[in-house]
Amino acid sequence: MKTIDELLSEGVAGKRVFVRADLNVPLDGTAITDDGRIRAVLPTVKALADAGARVVVASHLGRPKGAPDPAFSLAPAAARLGELLGADVAFAEDTVGESATSTVSGLADGQVAVLENLRFNPGETAKDDADRGAFADRLAALADVYVGDGFGAVHRKHASVFDLPKKLPHYAGHLIATEVGVLKKLTEDVERPYVVALGGAKVSDKLAVIDQLLDRADRLLIGGGMAYTFLKAKGYEVGKSLLQEDQVPAVTEYLERAEKQGVELVLPVDALVSTDFPDLKTKAPANPAVVAADAIPADQEGLDIGPETRKLYASKLADAATVFWNGPMGVFEHPDYAEGTKAVAQALVDSQGFTVVGGGDSAAAVRTLGFDEQAFGHISTGGGASLEYLEGKTLPGLAALED
């Protein structure tokens, strides 16, 4: 895989460089609530602009239905990118139409433009190879060189991720090169003990990665909504807690396999519960109760790991040489249910090992809860992409860059 460093050494002054970024930021109306993904691509965009390239940044945002939708416009992200660069950023109001063509043709050396949401065009996510290829052809007409730096999208077989790099000289940006390097540390020559903390809502989202990690990790800590399916598999009452009943057989098998293979699989010993899900907008006090993990009342819902579990998980992370964390331990968006996620994050900060925060909600939690991002070994920008890499899958966007 050729990298942006090689491209810069060849010279990019005057060249139109298409940067496939991941600007899929969370929005509250038009206000960005977490700009982490924009800041992550900043080094690549700045390096190209400083070298005199005419930089064309493109991304998706949300899941529009293949047509323009103002709720998913990239205009706020383009404005924020300009603020971070300290320079004007032009914004094209379409993907490959008149606005895109005129905006890109109007760039001078060192200037940056952002195209409107790629998913406003149905060709971006089309299942048909010809439809995707036709859209990729139109994107290719806007550029001379392709730089892939949207790690959060490399697991998608989309036109701008998979088809476009085949049509232009292509390179990996700083972010993708860094992400791949980190993931290799989690899959090749791993320093041990290797501890993985998994949370989030659905155990079904994590089954494939758990399957792989049972052969790689020394210890697995389970939290979040997915923990209640594990507790159910142990025969415990989980009340109204999030439960995927159809996954209990698979989870039971993993519990047995972990014991057989000598992998320590650690489950919550207590939980914060409530009869009602908390109001995440007003964040009104929720008054949770602490109960043992094997004694959740039938009318209660588990919403965070309890204080004893926080201590337990911190102790299980303390001696780790390598840590991968993906998924919050509870409903961290509400202060009454944030302590479990905060405890795991603090344990990573306190760790002497190499710590990786696996993107998505975990990365958002780190920032929301006020942690210094520099205190972690690496914060990934792609939760889904990271998990699929750890599952051993071929990621289309990386495969295209390796050709």
Give the residue ranges of the annotated binding site for ATP: 206, 302, 333, 359-362
Nearest to 364 by CA among 21, 19, 24, 20: 24
Contacts of residue 358, Cβ cutoff 8 Å, sequence gap at least 6: 324, 325, 326, 327, 380, 383, 386, 387
Catalytic sites, residue numbers? 37, 202, 360, 384
Cα separation, 35 vs 48, in Å, equals 20
The most distant pair of C-alpha atoms in the chain lies apart, rounded to whole Å, by 67
Q: What are the angstrom distances between the C-alpha of 242 and each of 64, 238, 277, 303, 331?
A: 28, 8, 11, 9, 12
Give the residue ranges of the annotated binding site: 22-24, 37, 60-63, 119, 156, 206, 302, 333, 359-362
DSSP state of 309: H
Give the residue ranges of the annotated binding site for substrate: 22-24, 37, 60-63, 119, 156
Q: Phi and psi (nearest 5°) for 206?
A: -115, 0
Nearest to 45 by CA among 92, 76, 80, 74: 80
The residue type found at 23 is L
Strands 194-198, 31-32: pairing is unpaired
